[in-house]
Homo-oligomer: A and B are copies of this chain.
Amino acid sequence: MAIDCSPSRPLRLDDVERWDAETDVLIVGFGIAGACAAIEARNAGARVDVFEVASAGGGSAALSGGEFYLGGGGGTPAQRAAGFEDATDDFFKYLMMAGGPGADEARVRRYADNAVAHFHWLAEQGIPFKGTYLPGKWLEPLTDDTLIWSGSEAAWPFAQQARPAPRGHAAQLPGWGAGKLIMEKLCARALERGATAHCNARALALVADRNDAVHGVVVRIDGEPRAVRAHRGVVLCAGGFICNEAMLRTYAPLVLGCPNPTTGGNDDGSGIRMGISVGAAAIHMDQFFATRPFFPPESLVKGIFVNELGQRFINEDAYHGRVTHYMLRQPNGRAWLLVDDEIFARPVTNPNVDIAAVGETWDEVERELGLPAGELTHTVEGYNRHAAQGADPLWHKQAAFLKPLTQAPFAALSYCPADYPASMFTLGGLWTATDGRVLTPAGEAVPGLFAAGRTACGLPRWGEGYSSGMSLGDSSFFGRQAGQAAARQQARIIR
């Protein structure tokens, strides 16, 4: 077969010499979005074939912490058991704030209205949730508990507009990395339901007719290009583009050179490029998740960040990814966490943190950092004075994390780029309707094409608003929607 095609250039239907295989719903990528799409498309009675470039399913989700961001409806079972009521309206408001200026109201609405049901669905697929609550401030549970505070819910300005509740739901696995367990369960379920998974199979290009309607995909298996026809729809679940240096340079230059990409290794942007090749809009392509976690232990949240002007620039109890985005935009990207002896600790994820300055007085620390005289000391003095009264008039940190930093010796932990590069992944992707249909810039659906997971621009679309569990929550939920919608399409018999 002629394969003058690429992710950026569809093979035209007329050039398909023969179909090497046929299915109803063709899914590109066997990560979390693809697995959930496969399960639902099978549940709807469609034939399903999944093509995965790696040698096994799992994708980037398998390397994740394994948390889902869920709430609303009065609370998930885990929320209720721990005594948290979570109204859909509060959950909706939080997600709208977390989506930032480009938040997609219809998408947020659909998710907020259905997240509790989605929790039950995930459990039904075999994902274990212990159901217990772990208080405190964690990145992920180190225990096998379920529910944690995993975002900025309790922090200003979120808590002022949406009643806070913990919403991170982790699968039951002692220690970190429950993503692997989740993906084992979901991939197994997809296969049990009768989906066929083809691994080591790279999607090379879409097959599209002259009007850019999508009819299938060219995949490379055993070194040979094969044309696979999709009678009902193609669902792109091929991840983001953190692994594609050229695309990062073009679309998201701030991510370029990130030494700690968060990826299973195949977020090469091919799914997004395939969508663009048939006229789809790719949106918020500059946006990315970034973090330099600075806790646990939680005591460090009682420290304060300052920039090279000696100014505070964020409430430190916000989500660590939000704090990191604020760090990145400070002059020269430089920031330090100021701590006193009482709260000093080495961050769990970065025990070798660079201690940039130590002093018996804050004045000494200021001088050792080489900051403008009188600024850091003014900042600490004001912070301490208000913290003693349980107040933070500048940045509104919660009282629980307010404590005067008065117990010498004092230290400044470096969060400067050279000392601690951030982990990142991309948030931009194809514009989709809530049922996963891929849209053109005019908001018209590209016939036959769906997308979910980080190939789509989802709930998480603003680095400053990201909360742990949003990407898995979005990818699993909207993967399901896309699988259902594709399966519902009228089968096309063409030629």
Which residues of A are interface residues toward B (Cβ below 8 A)?
6-9, 12, 14, 100-102, 210-212, 246-247, 249-251, 253-254, 256, 269, 272-273, 276-287, 309, 311, 329, 372-375, 378, 382, 393-395, 431, 440-444
Contacts and interface: CB of A to CB of B under 8 A. Distances in A.
A326 to B, nearest CB: 10
A6 B442 CA distance: 9
A441 B393 contact: no
Contact of A440 (B8, B394, B443): B8
B441 A8 contact: yes
A444 B251 CA distance: 15
A211 B9 contact: yes
A282 B282 contact: yes
17 contacts: A6-B442, A8-B279, A8-B441, A8-B444, A9-B440, A12-B211, A100-B253, A101-B256, A102-B250, A102-B286, A251-B283, A251-B441, A269-B441, A276-B279, A282-B441, A283-B285, A285-B285
Contacts of A8: 279, 440-442, 444
Q: Which of A256, A287, A373, A378 counts the most chain B CB atoms within 10 A?
A: A378
Contacts of A373: 393
A-B complex: 5 closest residue pairs judged by Cβ atoms? A101-B253, A8-B442, A8-B440, A372-B393, A102-B253
A441 B382 contact: no
Given A212-B9, A442-B8, A284 B281 contact: no
A249 B54 CA distance: 36
Contact of A281 (B276, B375, B382): B276
B286 A250 contact: no
Contact of A394 (B6, B251, B309): B309
A277 B273 CA distance: 13
Contacts of A14: 210
A12 B208 CA distance: 13
Nearest to A269: B441
Nearest to A464: B329
A442 to B, nearest CB: 4
A219 to B, nearest CB: 18
Given A276-B276, A311-B311, A247 B441 contact: yes
A15 to B, nearest CB: 8
Contact of A372 (B212, B269, B394, B441): B394
Contacts of A247: 441
B276 A431 contact: no
A378 B385 CA distance: 15
B12 A281 contact: no
A253 to B, nearest CB: 4
A278 to B, nearest CB: 8
Nearest to A13: B210
Nearest to A393: B372
Nearest to A250: B283
B378 A281 contact: no
Contacts of A374: 382
